[in-house]
Structure 1
Amino acid sequence: MRSSGLKRPNVTQPAKAKQAAVRRSATSSLPWKLVSTSHQHTDRLGQAIGRVLRGGETIALYGPLGAGKTALVRGIAQGLGASPTAVASPTFVVIHEYNQGRLPLAHVDLYRIRSPRELESTGLIEYFSGQTVTAIEWADRGLAALPDDRIEIALHHRAARSRTIQLSATGPKSDEVLALARRQYSKTSRKHRASPRGALNRQGTTRS
């Protein structure tokens, strides 16, 4: 049978173009800066992040003692569907694993790591493949081992009861996830913004 010479339309091209457009629209305007006035507010932000994680993300947490790093991880665990009450600082064990949620979560604390050899002995690198979400407190003590594409969250004391939180992404995957987290946070916190205390007050020129 002879060909008519007409090219068949590529029906997959429009779908791919649409998917690419969605990805572009989800990109995040960085950095995202917030002010948290309580552990509950920090927890709420963590929940927004946890709900949009897709698996395999690395979340690097920076900040001094008491800045709210563990509270944020509790929120992430809850957003993933795990029990937040089970989450505690893993300082003495280095890595705690939680498998009750829709994705496995590895909660890492590098506070006591002092050398590359100690870091290697933790087996941290093994968590960067597969679907495990890895949340790392004191991530500055293991920077050389972290994936290039990650979410970075810096928490700092602002006043007696408030913290500044700055979120950024170092690659395309983390940028997409962070943008989705911003949308999720905006959606779930509108009712809190209406109250005098608020949940988290936006700073700078951020967008929902």
Structure 2
Amino acid sequence: MNINPSTQHHQDARELETHAHDQTVALGRAMGRRMNRGLVLLLFGDLGSGKTAFAQGLARGLEVPPSFTVTSPTYTLVNEYPGRLPFSHVDLYRLPTPVDPDEIGLLDLFSEGGIVAVEWAQRLHPADRPACRMDLFFTVTGDNDRSIRIIAYGLDPSDLLNDIDV
């Protein structure tokens, strides 16, 4: 498996490339294994860019039991899963912009201490994004290739961004 770190553009950022769906899942799994406290991850990217694949891996890294199928909660808005840390997978695709996070219960999720991954996070107004979070920008760069830029806000980036072993 080959995930190549690119040059860093921001001191709290890292850019990775994946070359297969399984590598995007593996990146999520590797990050999930390193998580030891609540964290919000905001996932940005077009349809098919790897957001859900990453969330599936994240769930496995958080030890969500294999009996739970992790799918994008496009129609239910939030899927919650048990694991080493509680995992909430949110999809804002079908909601109008900007989303009121309090109206749909996101502020409660953000403060509950579990891991929250929000797909289509661009639908949140920047002022409604938690100060302590990770933003992940997924870009399709080829048929199976993805560029994933990860920026940490209010975190020690070495917690999750350095030495990711996939």
TM-score, structure 1 length as denominator? Answer: 0.69
Q: How many residues align?
A: 155
Change (3 A) 1:119 1:47: same
CA displacement at 1:129 relative to structure 2: 1.5
| Cα drift, residue 86 of structure 1 | 1.2
Tell whether 2:57 aligns with 1:75. yes
Deviations 1:71-113 (A, max 9, x none): 00010000010146511010111111001x1100010011122
Q: 1:127 aligns with which of 109, 112, 124?
A: 109
Q: 1:166 aligns with which of 134, 149, 155?
A: 149
Distance change >3 Å, CA 36–CA 150, structure 1 → 2: same
| Matched residue type, 2:25 | D
| Separation (CA, whole Å) in 2 of partners of 1:177 and 1:122 | 30
Question: Which structure is higher in strand share?
Answer: 2
3-state secondary structure, aligned to 1:34: strand
Structure 1's unaligned 5+ residue stretches are 1-27, 190-208
Which residue of 86, 91, 106 corresponds with 1:104? Answer: 86
Q: For the residues of structure 2 that align with 1:178 and 1:40, how far apart are their CA atoms? A: 20
Distance 1:115 1:146 in 2: 14
* Rounded Cα–Cα distance in structure 2 between residues aligned with 1:155 and 1:74: 15
Instruction: Choose from 175, 178, 182 the match for 2:160.
Output: 178
- The AA in structure 1 aligned to 2:38 is G
Length-normalised TM-score, structure 2 = 0.85
Task: Give distance in 2, aligned partners of 1:30 and 1:158.
Answer: 23
More helix by share: 1
- Please identify the structure whose Cα radius of gyration is greater: 1
Q: Give the deviation of 1:115 after TM superposition.
A: 4.5
| Structure 2 residue 39 is matched with structure 1 residue 57 | yes
Percent identity between the two aligned chains: 36
